Amino acid sequence: MLILIDDADPKAIEDTLSFLPVDGVTTNPAILARYGADPLATLKRIKEILPFGSQMHAQLVSTTTEGMLAEAAALRETLGEHIFVKVPVTREGYAAMPLLKQRGFYITATGIHSAMQGFMAAKAGCRYIAPYVNRMDNYGISGVRVAADMHRMLRAQGIQSDVLAASFKNSEQVLELVRDGIGAITAAPDVLAHLVSNPATDMAIHEQNADFAGLVGGPMTWADLVAATGEK
């Protein structure tokens, strides 16, 4: 399962990369607008930050099929051939998907709010289909259920695309989809951090370290003890 960072702030991305085994970054126009810097310069900076082999997803903003093809070509020219272009599941987007596939692009379908939108995008050649989990919840639809349904549909039909679930408000939504075997998720840095943080863990480690300090007569580490004995 792939785990990606859904953010455009290079500092936040670097911080998450410093402690979590993530596989890349997804962006969209709204995320780039929230960061507020030049969007192309931001994507270039993110590419510099990411480890070799990481994924980077950038969303097309053209509203015509021809415009999407031109945009995708420009992004690949600037950011490299491994860029994933995010294509909205509009009429024009569906028309662009097989054309982009023929031209060797990696495609992520975005803006998905129903299982059949995702399924048709997968049939059109998209590597990933990205349902908006929390946005569906806001419309009274179970986003987790829809994403899980899409995953089962793809596997049942033998289609090798994967669900890239997006738009989370909490780590519990992510956990439910991990249980369902979803191929990939992308979430904001704070949601990803909450996947591994737990106050009970912090308390247990604090108590154990306090016991160790009492044993050795102060806040010392094993490296301190070895240095104090002169051993190498």
- Comparing CA positions, the residue from 189, 192, 185 lying closest to residue 171 is 192
Rounded CA-CA distance 57/154 in Å is 21
Query: From first to last of its 232 residues, what are the pLDDT tens digits of the chain?
Result: 999 999 999 999 999 999 999 999 999 999 999 999 999 999 999 999 999 999 999 999 999 999 999 999 999 999 999 999 999 999 999 999 999 999 999 999 999 999 999 999 999 999 999 999 988 988 898 999 999 999 999 999 999 999 999 988 888 899 999 998 999 999 999 999 999 999 999 999 999 999 999 999 999 999 999 999 886 6
Tokens 């994507």 identify what position?
43
Q: Cα separations (Å) of 122 from 141, 151, 231?
A: 21, 11, 61
* Claim: this prediction has a pTM higher than 0.85: yes
pLDDT value for 134? 87
Rounded (5°) CA angle 16-194-41: 30
Q: Contact 100/94 with Cβ under 8 angstroms?
A: no
Q: Name the residues annotated as catalytic.
A: 86
CA distance 76 to 72: 6
